[in-house]
Chain A
């Protein structure tokens, strides 16, 4: 038997043992144990080292409020730091290591920091990292060098570096009633709501339902509360309209009763089941939320209150009742309220000896006195604990006289031997979620706590959340909250303890007294902040980092506020409280990312995707699309491949997959009128069976997108957009139709995926089509430039439009997407005798640069039609979107960035993103007059060329300049030329 495990009792399964390791040492526990309970059962009290001072720390709490006992869990190569030992269920093979210690937990060099306590006080980092403002080190990097070591010394666990192999998932749920918390009030609420036939979700952060019913004693419906809770949990699990989510922490409360919760599905298992995620992120939309989140016990602030062995009274009672663990042999109690007496008695009955109860109050209630007698403890009223002793473990406490009104310490210290000190400073209802939902907390003097408002929209509270601690009253509130009917106000039942504490938060004496255990913020730090002028509670929080650790100040907020109020000479409600923000408890990043990353993130494939892969294509991502970069031959570099592809296309023929172009059907009696309004040029005059190149502007007159639009029928147009802008253009058009011109009868439908597109270009392209197209001729008369014909290829219907992006004689062949590969293969086959090659995006880009055609790199949201030499497309005969805004002064200024061509004069490659400068200064690059938008090696010109946007570029043609690219260390002379590098008259495509 473990040294601290009681011989009986607890809700653990004693018939089975679980082996786990902590810092390489093997331990055993039982199913139902948390790491904290199992370690305590093994007599371990030292769990970790503190954040700043490296002080030895034990376990303070038993649940989600634990600030001290943080560990790192190892799963193979992956490591997850900062896991609360109190929330970690043990499983066979669990491997845990402690944190923030070097070289070991027992002997830690960083503990020397304790000696520098005055230096490391509040605002240490702010003050330190400003660096010297005078003296020899001013402005040097020396301080950055020091910072490295200082930062290394402070902190929590270390994050892993290998990819997390775990699976995460997101889930949506809808319900009429969401009950948060499964203590007596929550269970009563869930049962009542279920009885109305409502859809109910019950979320409990622990593995076991029941909350305080599992450890605080009492009876419900004439049975022990623990049994009642187990029965209620069983009953709810069997109801079809109830979803019970255990191990599920509700961490966010958002607008419209949208609730975020994290279910730890498999953290308690050595291996998840097939397909089972480790964590599941729930988004729950609830008609009504019942907040039955209970209350956290507060620690008291006194010197040495962080020594391992000091523990919240309720936590100790919970370890005894729920886990059969005795946290000490000789237990002392330090309290300002009656609640701790019940905890002490529970431990006495579990087999511990209670040596003393130290109460700050001079007078005790009859109930407290009676309990005290039953514990057999010496009761020291009007006294306070003013110090603790023990290295890594408590062995005695110092007690002195204490004036509950003035806080004055009197008399000599008396030492009392104890290996465990239970502390209770009153209770703080867990109002975090209500606060997130916008509720303003109200200070309650009797309970010395912030309570939620009585009236709220969207949620209703029950039990400890409301500050209602009596069991019967909490059950009544739960019932009322769940059924939606106002319950009777239960009278304060006799026999229940009055949980209201004396208004004492701190015992001021010599030594470090901790307020925020996790961030090592002491009471003196709070006072220091006050002296340095940080008097608003928001400033206090940021300056001292009080409440900003991963526990979000669950144990420290109210004591910190009380100490600040005292320093300011104000009442607590006058100092105010900060608003709680999500998350209530730490959330795994994996659960938030879930399916948005990795191999199951969404991707778009063209109809011919598999053909590309089977034929040597190297792919890259263009947005969500996978597109071919090159079809490399064995041994070819990327540049060799695209140069070959572009060259062959210009000399013979090439074929490219253009299925990704955005395609929108614009249909209806007003379609032509609509296009006239949104394009800068006229479309109503376009005959059926012809296509036209069009340009759209935004309302502010800047260029939006370009593409061709094909008139397929009198009332039917097929608009194409650039691949990247398809969604944006669709939204722009839908807005205009819905909001601006609702009278137009036009329908828009995305048909991008309906069509497979193959662009076939080059001097032999017409011959290739003639060889495989049936049902239509493709000669210049039947299919002139910008003409459209319908026919078939190898039995599949196709639509062919003669248009060119490459500058060659070229056609776009559209077929139904399901026929795309079939038609593509037929074109490849027909092209063989003519030397047809497939080409990728690199060759496509090369040919468009040679032609000076613009894409998204130039239509970048900052350029106008004039900047891009597209003035010829701006109709003067009609207004269009942007027509009144495009001629504003700044948009027609002569020094705007304008599109030019760039030729490398040193025969070295150019890069997109390089700056263009008039004078080269390698050491201090400056004087940018523009930037390159695209670059390639041009096989047609035999030079390295590119496009650029350059200030007053039109006037600079023929001038020398330089590229300056300090990141890639590329500097060199260039010539600014016209963007039309190749066949400027367009003879080839019209041929």
Chain B
């Protein structure tokens, strides 16, 4: 599988680690709502289909990425940085191989 890191470009999946389902809301740190904490720590949707998930590019820039990946086809329809709203584009040299 190839994941296109917004900063590093397309990379082999072996450079990434799965960091769980996205879309979970961590309660406010001061919250004492036990049910909300339980839900955050344990509840997962586990969608068959378009699935929101977090991957860390641990073998690259180490940023966490938000992916939408179809769990039935492994097709990744979107990737964005969890922390950085925008990242600069990676430049390729504008020439063909010699």
Contact = CB atoms under 8 A, between A and B. Distances in A.
Contact of A742 (B2, B32, B62, B82): B82
A254 B1 contact: yes
Q: Which of B29, B38, B62, B82 has the most CB of A within 10 A?
A: B29
Interface in B22-67: 26-27, 29-32, 34, 37-38, 40-42, 54, 56, 58, 62-64
Given A240-B97, A254-B1, A255-B74, A738 B34 contact: no
A283 B13 CA distance: 12
Contacts of B40: 699
Contacts, number: 65
Given A258-B12, A285-B2, A738-B83, A879 B30 contact: yes
B98 interface: yes
A884 B37 contact: yes
A110 B31 CA distance: 74
Contacts of A389: none
B2 A739 contact: no
A735 B98 contact: no
Given A256-B13, A699-B40, A731-B17, 17 more contacts: A255-B1, A255-B2, A256-B2, A699-B41, A700-B42, A731-B58, A738-B56, A738-B63, A739-B64, A739-B82, A739-B83, A879-B30, A884-B27, A884-B31, A884-B37, A885-B37, A885-B41
B73 interface: yes
Contacts of B27: 884
27 contacts: A197-B96, A240-B98, A241-B97, A254-B1, A255-B13, A255-B74, A256-B74, A257-B2, A258-B2, A699-B40, A700-B41, A700-B42, A734-B56, A734-B64, A735-B64, A738-B56, A738-B63, A739-B19, A739-B64, A740-B26, A742-B82, A884-B27, A884-B31, A884-B34, A884-B37, A885-B37, A888-B34
B9 to A, nearest CB: 11
A890 to B, nearest CB: 12
Nearest to B31: A884
Nearest to A734: B62
Interface in A873-919: 879-880, 884-885, 888
Contacts of B19: 731, 735, 739
Contacts of A739: 19, 54, 64, 82-83
Interface in A253-273: 254-258
A438 interface: yes
A285 B40 CA distance: 37
A591 to B, nearest CB: 16
B16 to A, nearest CB: 12
A530 interface: no
A199 interface: yes
Nearest to B63: A738
B82 A738 contact: yes
A511 to B, nearest CB: 47
A438 B70 CA distance: 14
A677 interface: yes
Contacts of B2: 255-258, 285
Interface in B79-98: 82-83, 96-98
A223 to B, nearest CB: 31
Given A255-B1, A285-B12, A734-B56, A742 B83 contact: yes
A103 to B, nearest CB: 48
A885 B12 CA distance: 36
A737 interface: yes
Given A255-B1, A255-B74, A879-B29, A735 B34 contact: no
Contact of B64 (A738, A879, A885): A738
B97 A677 contact: no
Interface string A352-379: 0000000000000000000000000000
The number of chain B residues touching the other chain, given as a range, is 20 to 34
Interface in B1-25: 1-2, 10, 12-13, 17, 19
A885 B37 CA distance: 7
A735 B63 CA distance: 9
Contact of B1 (A256, A737, A884): A256
Interface string A736-779: 01111010000000000000000000000000000000000000
B32 A884 contact: yes
A699 B41 CA distance: 7
Contacts of A256: 1-2, 13, 74
Identify the interface centre among B1, B37, B42, B58: most chain A CB within 10 Å of its CB. Answer: B37
Nearest to B97: A241
A438 B73 contact: yes
A748 to B, nearest CB: 9
Report, nearest first, the 4 A-B pairs whose CB atoms are least far apart.
A256-B2, A738-B64, A255-B1, A879-B29
Contacts of A731: 17, 19, 56, 58
A700 B62 CA distance: 24
Interface string A432-466: 00000010000000000000000000000000000
Contacts of B64: 734-735, 738-739
Contacts of A240: 97-98
B82 A199 contact: no
Interface in A694-726: 699-700
Contacts of A241: 97
Contacts of A734: 56, 62, 64
Nearest to B36: A884
Contacts of B37: 884-885
A85 B62 CA distance: 48
Interface in A273-292: 283, 285
B30 to A, nearest CB: 5
Contacts of B17: 731
A737 B2 CA distance: 25
Nearest to B33: A884
A734 B58 CA distance: 10
Nearest to B38: A885
A197 B64 CA distance: 36
Contacts of B63: 738
Interface centre among A283, A700, A884 (most CB of B within 10 A): A884
Contacts of A438: 73
Contacts of B82: 738-739, 742
A283 B41 contact: no
Contacts of B41: 699-700, 885
A257 B83 CA distance: 29
Contacts of A737: 83
Nearest to A254: B1
Given A699-B41, A884-B31, A885-B41, A199 B97 contact: yes
A702 B64 CA distance: 24
B67 to A, nearest CB: 13
B56 to A, nearest CB: 7
Contacts of B32: 884
A696 to B, nearest CB: 15
Nearest to A240: B98
Contacts of A197: 96
Interface in A227-261: 240-241, 254-258
A738 B31 CA distance: 21
A281 to B, nearest CB: 13
Contacts of A742: 82-83
A738 B56 CA distance: 10
A396 to B, nearest CB: 55
A434 to B, nearest CB: 15
